[in-house]
Amino acid sequence: MVLARTLLVFVTGSLSACTLLTDLGGLHSGQPDPAAAQADAATDAPTTTDLSLSDQSEASFAGGQYLDTRWEVDHVALVPKKPRGDYLSRVFDLGGSRKLARLEWKPGAPYGKPLPDGARAETGYRRGGVDMRDAAALLHLDGNVTDMSGRAVPIVTRGAAGETMQFASALFGQGFSDTKTSWAYGALDATSPLATGTSDFTWSLWVQSTQGCADNIVYLGGEDANDGRPHLWMGCAATFSECPAQDGTGRFAGYFGTTANDEMGFCGARRIDDGKWHHLAVVKAGHSPASMRTFVDGTVETAISQTFQAAFVYDAASQLALGSFVRGEARFQSSGLFDELAILRRAMSDAEIGDVHARGALRLTFQIRTCTTSTCSDDPAFVGPGSDGKRSFTDVDLAPPARADLSAATAQRWFQYRAHFESDIDGRSPELYSTGLVLAP
């Protein structure tokens, strides 16, 4: 079923010059589903009641300018093979000097958003929502190491004498700027949700590092402090026996075992110590036998079947450490930038891992400006939060539509927004379905 919408669209940017148009909205897949189409019609539209201040159709978006972007069926996206581009809106006439309340937009997925807190399942997006109800730990690393999974796992930080934990700008706000002498850990003991026993689990972490991997470098791992079993870690290796070549390339590698007789190692193909952001994941499904899958940037690197003889339980209190592997006084420490550490007590599917990667690899951001002329010929700068030209508005709401507070913007008669699209995934683009401007009372 195709739904008809009636809206007002500016032709010249003037409130007095407008045209009545009919928008025929279908599904992106090209296979209409009545229930889905009805839901989309309800959720795609911004909450503003003044449709003359919104873009919701091909006709209304056509009033702006596509810069390495284009209209695709029911949304704006990047031109194929273009890693970045912009959509520049038409200039909206507010009918007088008006204060703004907010900008709203409907993205196709939660682009650039940290994983949801409090063991929640994301809803409202066409695709890409993540179910975190089985989270054992979630560290956003935004200036702290607080567990936001809802389980309140205590996280301890360590470093050299006088060293404090450092944080720096990362993919999702800030991240842990790890040194070879600093690390953070959660306790592994019989009561910890981090000790997964025989249950399925998923480890997920974003990493940016140039540290050489001639020796095994541990990003996340630990072992039983009593006898070294269980023994588990993931990180980077170049000379590990499981690597496809001993050529010095730093690859995603690791080792998982519960006894001396059921250990499995893995090493992928792609280089990860190149200073670029990489999403790394290990997924265990089953136990005896278990399917172990590892991922780099949303793609399966290794798939191994392993029969574990015992559970992942710990006789002595141990550390599951980020940025280190603690064995007595020995440290197998890493350096680099870490972001969005998540541990789940279930096996994420391949598609879910792809969604977690996409929320960091696809980005959709906005800047705005208010003008004194109908063409913005005064050419004020586009700005983001705090009227800062170097910042952009991002999707931080719990569910769509995304909202940006514009109450600090200068009151003028004319308004324009710019949407910026970026993709680190060949053949994929962020998707923008609608935008709307809400005026202050």
DSSP per-residue string spanning 156-198: EEE-STT----EEEETTEEEEEE-TT-EEEEEESTT-TT--BT
CB-facing half-sphere around the CA of 407: CA atoms within 13 A = 4
d(CA 423, CA 179): 29
Can you spell out the DSSP letters for 390-425? Answer: T--B---SSSSSEEEE-TTSPPEEEEEEEEEEEESS
Residue 93: what pLDDT? 97
- Read off the pLDDT of residues 404-429 as tens digits, 9 standing for 90 and up: 999 999 999 999 999 999 999 999 99
274-303 pLDDT, tens digit per residue, is: 999 999 999 999 999 999 999 999 999 999
Q: Count H helices and E strands in the chain, helices first.
A: 3, 30
- Could you tell me the pTM of the whole model? 0.86
What is the structure's pLDDT at 389?
96
> What is the pLDDT at residue 328?
64
**pLDDT of res. 10:** 30
Which DSSP category does 353 fall into? Answer: H
Whether residue 311 contacts residue 103, with contact meaning beta carbons closer than 8 Å, is answered with no
Please give the CATH topology (third level) of the domain spanning 135-345. Jelly Rolls (2.60.120)
CA 225 to chain centre: 34
pLDDT for 38 equals 39
Q: Spell out the domain ranges in the chain.
A: 3-109+370-439, 135-345
Element (H, E) at 77: strand 75-78
Q: Which two tokens stand for residue 229?
A: 């079993």
Q: Identify the pLDDT of residue 369.
A: 98
- Weakly modelled stretches of the chain, pLDDT under 50: 1-43
pLDDT at 45: 52
- In terms of phi and psi (left: phi > 0; alpha: psi -120 to 50; beta: otherwise), the region of 354 is alpha
DSSP H helices, 175-260, are none
Beta strands in 297-372 (DSSP E): 299-306, 318-322, 326-327, 330-331, 336-344, 362-371
Q: So what's the pLDDT on residue 80?
A: 96
Question: How high is the pLDDT of residue 44?
Answer: 53
Per-residue model confidence (pLDDT) at position 47 = 57
Q: Which pLDDT value is given to residue 162?
A: 86
Q: Partners of 415 in the beta sheet? A: 92, 370
Please tell me the total number of residues recorded for the chain in this structure: 441
Contact residues for 114 (Cβ-Cβ < 8 A; gap 6+) = 140, 142, 172, 173, 340
